[in-house]
Amino acid sequence: MSHRIVVVGGGVIGLSVAWRLAESHDVTLVDPAPARGASWVAGGMLAPVTESWPGEEALLELGVASLDLWPEYAAELDVRLLTGGTLVAAVDAADAAQLDVLADHLASLGREVERLTGRELRGREPAIGPGVRSGLVVPGDLAVDNRELLRSLVTAARRAGVVLDSRRVESVERGVVHVEGGTIETDTAVIAAGAWSAALHPALDTLVRPVKGEILRLRGRTGAVPLTHTLRALVESRPVYLVPRPGGELVLGATQYEAGFDTEVTVGGVLDLLADAERVMPGIAEFGLTETAAGLRAGSRDNLPLVGWLEPGVLVAAGHHRNGLLLAPITAAAVRAMVAGEDPPAQVLAADPARHCPTRR
Ligand SMILES: Cc1cc2nc3c(=O)[nH]c(=O)nc-3n(C[C@H](O)[C@H](O)[C@H](O)COP(=O)(O)OP(=O)(O)OC[C@H]3O[C@@H](n4cnc5c(N)ncnc54)[C@H](O)[C@@H]3O)c2cc1C
């Protein structure tokens, strides 16, 4: 049966959800600035394995299940994937010890990972500098140009019949979405407003918070040694990553602070990112610096997203924190199943918002 559906928020999650739902329903997507938000700023890694950590097994399972959906999702949207896998580098002894913990954890879960010396890493990726002591090769992680993805999603959603409404949503309740200057009646509302979701429904009040991240975009110039893999590193325990794009662009990220809704790029953030990146890839100084940006990840209490019913007629798909691009295909598949009254992919059950409300379990 066809429903009237309002999707609130047009980042990668809202656009993916709206596009999928429009195959069977009348969908309106409400967002004053679609295809921006954290999704526009992000690095583009699709990396459940190198993001994983002991204690976060449910997130790893969810991420791996979504990664499996990515090749088909990318093909449908006609976006390119970077398939070279990820190299992870350690600079000092404590960083190397942390990578050992990660490697042991992944091996215990049966995940493929190869340990390399610094020299061996440089053999795989000549841009890596002599300051790198050891590292890992993690095959299978992917990467995508997030901006190309967003452009394709907007086109696909429009083609599928999604109506874009540029008003700001004030609140959502069963059957009604309150927008500036009016209301929209709906059978089902999907709250997908990323870090801004908490203000839209009382059940989300303390479940989603903004987590600021600063990121830089660099341009390859003559003489700059390009990267061919996604390169993540720990530099004196600070994480830093470099993601190559077709055409020679490098995305360098990312800081992580609890700073409310502040999106100003700080000098300190840029200094830290450039200094840490230079320890891993000394040739970074040859690149042009084309953009600095800050975005707000939607943090949740346990780093798992919130995907499920808040009340009859109101779904949430938010709280994707550092993994919203990775988790877009499985989130969209889950929301489509839930609206149809079907079971979502099993790995999504761990993301049910009812986990924070024991009386609803
Ligand atoms: C620096 C940085 C690097 C990252 N790198 C990666 C990465 O490499 N890989 C990865 O998977 N993830 C990464 N992430 C996380 C990823 O960007 C997010 O998880 C993802 O973009 C979340 O998508 P979203 O659609 O939920 O939110 P957003 O993209 O933030 O979109 C939310 C949308 O809601 C709209 N909105 C807000 N309030 C309202 C309202 N009241 N009414 C209507 N609309 C509203 C906004 O305009 C916006 O368009 C990164 C994030 C940051 C900040």
* pLDDT tens digit sequence for 187-212: 999 999 999 999 999 999 999 999 99
CATH number assigned to the domain with residue range 86-139+210-299, chosen from the 4 options 3.30.9.10, 3.10.300.10, 3.20.20.80, 3.30.1330.60: 3.30.9.10
Which pLDDT score, from 0 to 100, does residue 75 have?
98
Strand partners, 89: 135, 233
Nearest CA, atom 31, ligand 1: 11
CA of 240 to the centre of ligand 1 (A): 20
CA of 197 to the centre of ligand 1 (A): 11
Closest CA to 216 of 38, 42, 37, 39: 42
Report residue 84's pLDDT band, with 50, 70 and 90 as the boundaries: confident
- 275 vs 223, more confident: 275
- Using CA atoms, how far apart are residues 42 and 286, in angstroms rounded to an integer? 23
| CB-CB contact of 305 with 325 (8 Å) | no
Which pLDDT score, from 0 to 100, does residue 273 have?
98
Which pLDDT score, from 0 to 100, does residue 204 have?
96
Which pLDDT score, from 0 to 100, does residue 122 have?
96
Task: Tell me the mean pLDDT in the region 252-262.
Answer: 96
Nearest CA, atom 19, ligand 1: 324
Q: Which atom of ligand 1 is nearest to the CA of 296?
A: 53
Which pLDDT score, from 0 to 100, does residue 113 have?
86
Task: Tell me the mean pLDDT in the region 332-357.
Answer: 96
Domain 4-41+147-207+302-360 matching CATH 3.50.50.60: the answer reads: yes
- Using CA atoms, how far apart are residues 259 and 209, in angstroms rounded to an integer? 10
pLDDT for residue 219 is more than 60: yes
Sheet holding 188-191, edge to edge: 163-165, 26-30, 4-8, 188-191, 314-318, 306-311
Which pLDDT score, from 0 to 100, does residue 357 have?
79
Nearest CA, atom 16, ligand 1: 324
pLDDT for residue 109 is more than 60: yes
The set of residues, in sequence order, having a beta carbon less than 8 Å from that of 319 and lying 6+ positions away, is: 197, 207, 208, 298, 299, 300, 304, 305, 306
Burial class (CB in 10 A: 0-12, 13-18, 19+), 1: exposed
CA of 59 to the centre of ligand 1 (A): 18
Nearest CA, atom 48, ligand 1: 37
CA of 318 to the centre of ligand 1 (A): 9
Q: What is the mean pLDDT of the chain?
A: 95
pLDDT for residue 359 is more than 60: no
Report residue 50's pLDDT band, with 50, 70 and 90 as the boundaries: confident
- Using CA atoms, how far apart are residues 113 and 349, in angstroms rounded to an integer? 28
Which pLDDT score, from 0 to 100, does residue 355 have?
95
Q: What string of DSSP letters covers 238-254?
A: EEEEEEE-TTSEEEEE-
Percentage of the chain lying above the pLDDT 70 cut: 99
Report residue 360's pLDDT band, with 50, 70 and 90 as the boundaries: low
CA of 184 to the centre of ligand 1 (A): 24
Task: Tell me the mean pLDDT in the region 320-345.
Answer: 98
pLDDT for residue 358 is more than 70: no
4-41+147-207+302-360 and 86-139+210-299 share one fold = no
CA of 22 to the centre of ligand 1 (A): 21
Q: What is the pLDDT of residues 224-244, one digit of tens each?
A: 888 999 999 999 999 999 999
pTM: 0.97
Query: What are the extents of the domains in the chain?
Result: 4-41+147-207+302-360, 86-139+210-299
pLDDT for residue 1 is more than 80: no
CA of 75 to the centre of ligand 1 (A): 22
Which pLDDT score, from 0 to 100, does residue 187 have?
97
CB-defined site of ligand 1, < 6 Å: 8-14, 30-31, 33-34, 36-39, 41-45, 168-169, 192-196, 213, 215, 253-254, 295, 297-298, 318, 320-326
Q: Which of 273, 325, 326, 331 to mutate to test ligand 1, by most ligand atoms within 8 A of the CB atom?
A: 325
Q: Which atom of ligand 1 is nearest to the CA of 324?
A: 19
First to last CA, the chain: 27
Q: Which of 15, 39, 164, 264 to mutate to test ligand 1, by most ligand atoms within 8 A of the CB atom?
A: 39
